[in-house]
Structure 1
Amino acid sequence: MRIMVECSGSRSVVGLAAAASPMLNMETLRQKHRFSKVTTTRRGGGSGLPVGDDGGGEEEGVVVILGATGTGKSKLSIDIGKSFPVEVINSDKMQVYDGYDITTNKMTVAERRGVLHHLLGELENDVELSPLGFRSLASRRIAAIQSRKRLPVVAGGSNSYVHALMAKKYDAENANIAGDGGLNYRSCLLWVDVGWEALVMQLDRRVDDMVAMGMVEELAVNFNRSRAEQGIYKGIEKAIGVPEFDKFFLNHSPNTWLTTGNCTKKMKKEYKSAVEEIKLNTRVLARNQVAKIECLISAAGWNIRRLDATEVVRKRINGVQKKEVEMEWERTVLRPAMADVGNFVRRGSNGGASSVGSEFWSSNYALSAMKQAAGGGGSGVAHQKF
């Protein structure tokens, strides 16, 4: 028996688990979409976070991928990881927490293509990870990655995290970008950017895709009436989608919604309103993210390479063949990014040779990859969705 729930044209499938129980099992959703829960050791101390070790300008350097939500940051990090010996450090402040995998748009295990990720779904929700806390955690991961002669790639949309990590003089009490004292690491800074009109269409479509994947079911499973009534949110509960649908579920019991095939006129209207509010708030987030990146350039003086993925998104939205979309991605984003990262790694500190993946550079594959990245032919890199 499968129960079909339809609201405002959105069709969701609730399987046998829902039929057997009024609450859908979260593990069912996790297995369905192949997300991997990362088991971590809980840390002691009042904040639950390690203290100290705030970086120190590791000479091997760090690649940082910035951009608004939905522009292709994760995709680029994986594509780079197929040609360079990298490990990715997530800098999305919602994706650092375990749970809400669809709502926070976490990459599935398959989408990671074997590239090792750090701080992705690692923290429990009772820990509030501040920018200073992220600086401490991420700097330790960077040191560990560099000790393995691999390249750290920081990717995510939370620019407050990135600024805290990369600023040489970060002041948690007064995060003055203009007075941050320069960069804490030798770095290659990449910005995947998309024109606003195309980005809005991309973000709206992504919300619809997430709904189709089971986002609302996930939100229903995690609904907390006390939280919704008080309007107090912490950690991952601040993710776009949680507050919006809390209001919906206050009026329409999640149990009833999951197990009933019929929607009233009022329910359909409020359902549609919640989805539209998610889209609006996602656009606001994207605007703020771009503004912060522009501030890092203008006020802090960060030298950030802009990679324009607008045509990639336009072609994708307009239903252009996948092969043509991938070719546009290679031409406008991947090749220039690969060339920058290649030069950055080979140059090393103070203009010397880098020790990152020395065996990589001696391989024929590496020489071929760099040649392709410089502009000759396809890169041979696997492609994933944004």
Structure 2
Amino acid sequence: MKQSKAKKKISLISSALVMGVSLVFCFIFIKSENSSLSFFSSREINFNQFDQNQVISRESFPKNNQTSDRNTSLKDQLHSNPSRLPAAEPSHTESRSVKKYKKVVNLPPNFIPLGKRDPLTDKYSPRTKTALGEDESLSLNLLPSHYFLNLERNKEETYRVSLRTQYKDRPVDVRLSVHDQLGKPYPIRKVRPGLYKMTLNSSELTPGKKYFEFQARYKNSEVWSRLSLEVNQSLVRHLRPIDQGLNAQGNLFFNHEFLFHQEGTYLIEGILYHENSPIAQVSKVLKNVPQGPSQLNLQFHGYFFSQKKISGHFQLKSLQVRKVDDALKTFGNQWIELNSETSYLSWQQFNSRAYENEIIRNKIERLTQR
């Protein structure tokens, strides 16, 4: 009797356990189904953000065995009935682009208004580079004379680097070493405590891109830094200014004579200043330039100055000269400082007729029609 009662009790407990486990599995199954449904409802909200012509690929959904069939059916529905998707509204990026294009729609395509920054000065003017050691006690300040160096035949060019070393904000003498990318060492001259100079002349420099690695050690501290240098054969040399001012159409021009060392096609870019601030950049392509002296006439469309009522003295501050090969690639970066200045010009003297820039106008139309 006792054994039969014990067996009944065990069977009741087993049945209860089985029922409990079954309920747990049912609960998990229901939760998983609900989560799948909620996932697709959230996906349907996101569909409304797509453009009508956008292709929704299988990769845009999670790769899950339970949902792959549903993903395919949703994709098929969207392709078969694209009218379910509303047209996309113009984005903020598009509106900013339209505003940007409207500023230059009445200017030639080679004319770029500038703000407070001179892109050529930013590119070519050396700046001090500071490096710190791991404990930040030892610092190395490097000031190169060039980022780009152009070598001209029979003319000596020099590349200099000024190095200042400090330990806890005071100048110190350190152990210095300099190597190029090939591991070749270069000598450094001490000027005074904490100040060193490295000088290389034309005979030590060959065309190409290279870098110099500097290492400084003091006590248990170490710091290193790297400077890059691009060496090119000189493309052109400035000979003399010829004339500058306003032409018959009321456009600002600068006419200069240059000596071109090689024949070919050149891309010239000039930066115009007004009251010691950059205001415009213009570019010009010179095709089939012969070796020898040639004149360069850069023009800045007068409508820009007339519209903004800009009067005063204008300076063609600098030029960038690059050669263009048959594949339309540019090379041989060369920076030429000019500082050519006009007499006083009133905004009323400039060309007041807008330039019809069809390329920019078509871009604006395409953006506003979306």
Normalized per residue, the structure richer in helix is 1
- Higher RCO, Cα 8 Å, sep 6+: 1
Larger radius of gyration: 2
Which TM-score band (shorter chain)? Answer: under 0.3
